[in-house]
Structure formats: structure tokens, C-alpha cells
Structure 1
Amino acid sequence: MENVKFIKNGISKLPPGFRFQPTDEELVFQYLKCKILSYQLPASIIPEINVCNYDPSDLPGNYGEQDRYYFSSKETKYRNGNRMNRTTKSGYWKATGSEKKVIRISSSISNNNVGLAGIRKSLVFYKGKSPNGSRSDWIMHEYRLVNVESNSSHQKYVKEIGDWVVCRIFMKKRRNVDKYSVSIMNQPRFFDFMRVHNAAPGPMITSSSSSTSTEVSSSDQTSGYIC
């Protein structure tokens, strides 16, 4: 199958009507694994970008799409360490929650050799300097390829493979709707169809010059309301 390219100047661009919505399993085994092992990718749709060189709002890509995907190199924070650098120009990515294991559902797993698997780490972007940054709505899922093996004592070992990760970055949806707004939205709405069809020229509500009270014209007295 011929590799299809949808990347131009580091930005992925799909034709109208097409959406790139891979599952965790597809991201790890169809894209990240092929990238690390130098296999042919299903399609050239994920650009290579060091994610930490940009703030999430400055990342290249189509802002009309909710999710954006990037191959990012494993840049370590310290020369002799394994901890990745997650600091950007005006903030930093902070891990949250527990890591999720991604496996191939169709693959058979033996007791002695579990084989390749993926690890998904969730991170939140904070503006400012650690540890006093302010939390934002930007979320990143970082996928890594690992090799899971077990020895004669049935102890499992996890070893990361390759110098690349896949990053899925998106904006968390806000749902800040107070109870008053919900009650207003749930109230029945009334529509005056008789007023629309039988409206006479002039104002529907007239004010008497000899009284401060307001009188409704006869055209309104025969109006019908439905819910």
C-alpha cells in the first residue's frame, strides 16, 4: 500500500470530509511502533515536532480540529537522567492520574513473554513556573512504546523502546453552567402564534393618558398560547 502524505511544512492537513481519529491501540502499534522500528507508516499524517518548544496554543496545526497529534522526541531534562523535559516558554506540563497500559487486543499473550505494549500518560498544562503555575484546560496524552518481559521467577520488567513518543493534545471542554441557568433552560417556552398571524398595525399594548395602568388591546385578548 502506498504511503499517503498529508503533511506540509510541519502541519497535517486532511481533505474536506476526512477526520483523523485513531484509537490508543492504533496510535501505539500502527504509528509509534512503525516510527520507532523504521517501518512504513499507514499515512504521513503526524508531523515531527518537539512539543515542549511550544506553548499548546502556539503549536502548528488545524485549530478547527479538536485533537492534534505529534511525534515528539524524548528530550531529557538532565544530561545523565531519564526524566523528560516538559517545560515550555511560559509554562510546563504536569503528569496527572495513573498511567494506562495499551495492548493489542488481538495478540496472544504468553506467560513468559508479554511482548510490546504501550503506556499512556496524561498531563495538564500549567501557566507560569513550577510549582506555582496556574492550571489550564490543555490536556496531553503521551504514548510510549515499551517491551514487557518476564523472567524465570515470573517477575515482569518494563523497558522503554525508541527515542519517540506520540502526543495527543486537546482542549478540555468546560461545563460551567450554574443551577439558575439550567432551571431557566428547562422552563417551558410560550409562543404567541395568534399574534403573528392576526397582528394589526400599531402597538399591541397601549397606555391610557388618564391612568398609569396599561391596557391590552382586543387583538391580544383572543390570542392563543401553546407550550
Structure 2
Amino acid sequence: MEKLNFIKNGVSKLPPGFRFQPTDEELVFQYLKCKIFSSQLPASIIPEINVSKYDPWDLPGNCGEQERYFFSSKEAKYRNGNRMNRTTNSGYWKATGSDKKIASSMTNIGIVGVRKTLVFYHGKSPNGSRTDWVMHEYRLLTLETTTSNSSQNYGNEIGDWVLCRIFMKKRSDSGSMMMKNDYTVMNEARFFDFMSVHNNSAMPPNHSSTSSSCSSSSNFVEVSSYDHEQTSAYADF
């Protein structure tokens, strides 16, 4: 079978109409396992890159794509340690939640995959600000069976590669609607206060209660004060 290569200049480029949407099992046993054991890959679609050398928005490929995939080498954070380096130029990746075990449905080969979820934080640890960037990091481990009770435990990690799926988490529709409503309210407040400044002299006495109720909000007071200063500046000019 001819090996398919869809990588050009370190960036994956699929033909029009094709989508790369592998399952966790396929990523671990069809791609990561083959990469580690130097077997032929189903397709050369996943580029090699050290993910910790880039901020997520600077990684190769189209940032607007839903997901991007990379083979990343295991770079140790400390010279004599096994902990991976997860610090980038602008922030760091922080693990969250529990790891997910990924087993092969085809055969019991004594190998298991593990998916670790990480979130990107902007700034320096431990005071970074959380972002919407998420990474699923896939690893390959040996699966050991104890003779006493036939239970299976994770063994050592295999190989010098991990497989990374990186994407930006979508905001909920309710959150987006709240932001839109807040924006609309602020614009309406600015428009109302602007009109009230210019038409204050012409406003009848029975509108004083409405003006008082609107100025009870600190946000409205700040907007009204800003517009009044701008109006005075234009008048002096």
C-alpha cells in the first residue's frame, strides 16, 4: 500500500472535502503506536513538532481549524527528571481532571493508551490566567498483569513521542448571549445619558424621577460623567 503524505513544509494539507477526525483509539494504536515502533503510518498527516516551543496560536497550520494534531517529542523539564516541559514563550500548559484509559478493541497486546487533558494558561505559573486553549495529550504505556489477583496495572511509558490534539474550546451560547445583552445595555445606557445631557434644559419636570433612577447605577454615572466632559470640551472649542 502506497504511503500517503499530506504534510508540506511542516503543515498538514488535506484535499478539499476531506476531514481528519480520528477516534482516541485510532490516534493511539494506528498513529502513536506506529510512530513509536517505526511502523508505517496509515497516512503522513500528523507533523512532528515540539509543542512546548510554541504558544498554541503560533503552532503551524490554520488556527481557525477546529483541531490540530502533532507528534511532540518528550522534552524533560529537568535534566535528571521525567517530568515533561510544558512552558511556552507566553504561558504554560496545566493538567486538569483525571487521565482517561484507552484500550484496543482489536486485541490485547499488553499496551494501553492514556489521554491527559491540559489547559493553556497565559502568564507565569502559578498566577497565569486561564484561556480557552485545550490539549489532549496521548501516551503509550505497558500494561502489566499481576499473578496474584490477575489485576492489570500501568507499567512504564513507551517511546520518546506523545501525540497532541490541540483546539480552542467553544464558548457556550448562553455565555455569548449574556455578553451580547451586556453590550446592548451599555450602548443603550450611553445613548440615553448622551441625550439626557443635551436635552436636560428642555426636559419637563416630571422626568426627574426617571433621570434619578438611571443614575443610581455606578456604570451609568460613569458614562454620564464621561459624556458631560466631552460635551463641555466641544462647547469650549
* TM-score, normalising length: structure 1: 0.74
Please give the per-residue CA displacement for 1:167-194, whole angstroms capped at 9, x wherever unaligned: 000000012123995xxxxxxxxxxxxx
Does 1:158 find its partner at 2:155? yes
Per the alignment, residue 123 of structure 2 pairs with 128
Give the whole-Å Cα distance in 2 for the aligned partners of 1:61 and 1:25. Answer: 24
Q: Find the counterpart in structure 1 of residue 73 from structure 2.
A: 73
- Offset, 1:159: 1.3
Equivalent residue for 1:167? 164
Name the structure where helix makes up a greater proportion of residues. Answer: 2
1:93-134 deviations in Å (ceiling 9; x for gaps): 000000000011232x4xxxx611100000000000000000
- Equivalence for 1:118: 113
The residue that corresponds to 2:5 in the other structure is 5
Q: Secondary structure at the match of 1:60?
A: coil
Letter in 1 for 2:73: S
Check the 8 A contact 2:52/2:88 in 1, yes or no: yes
Q: Number of residue pairs matched?
A: 176
The aligned residue for residue 221 of structure 1 is: none
The answer to whether the 8 Å contact 2:138/2:164 transfers is yes
AA matched with 1:168: R
Opposite residue 2 of structure 1, the aligned amino acid is: E
Query: Equivalents in 2 of 1:95, 1:26: separation in Å?
Result: 23
Equivalents in 2 of 1:95, 1:101: separation in Å?
15
In the TM superposition, structure 1's runs of 4+ consecutive aligned residues that sit over 3 Å from their partners are none
SS of alignment partner, residue 174 of structure 1? coil
Aligned pairs for 1:96-107 (under 5 A) are 96-107=96-107
SS of the residue aligned with 2:113?
Answer: strand
User: Residue 22 of structure 1 aligns with which residue?
Assistant: 22
Structure 2 counterparts to residues 74-223 of structure 1, below 5 A: 74-107=74-107, 109=108, 115-153=110-148, 154=150, 156-175=153-172, 176=175, 177-178=177-178
Please give the root-mean-square deviation of Cα atoms over the aligned residues, in Å: 1.6
Q: Distance in 2 between matches of 1:124 and 1:93?
A: 6
In terms of mean alpha carbon deviation, does 117-126 or 171-180 score higher?
Answer: 171-180
Read off the aligned partner of 2:63 and give its amino acid letter. Answer: Y
In structure 1, the gaps of 5 or more residues are: 182-227
Hey, what's the Cα distance between the residues in 2 that align with 1:11 and 1:180?
36
Cα 1:14/1:162, change in 2 over 3 Å: same
Q: Deviation at 1:80?
A: 0.8
Moved more, 157-166 or 69-78: 157-166
SS at match of 2:57: helix
Q: CA deviation at 1:150?
A: 1.4
Distance 1:171 1:159 in 2: 31
Any gaps of 5 or more consecutive residues in structure 2?
182-237
Amino acid at match of 1:79: R
Q: Contact 1:12–1:62 at 8 Å: present in 2 too? A: no
Aligned-pair distance for 1:158? 1.9
Which range is displaced more, 3-12 or 56-65?
A: 56-65
Secondary structure of residue in 1 paired with 2:139: strand
User: 1:124 is paired with a residue of what secondary structure?
Assistant: strand
Identity within the alignment, %: 72
Match of 1:191 in 2: none
Higher strand content, 1 or 2: 1
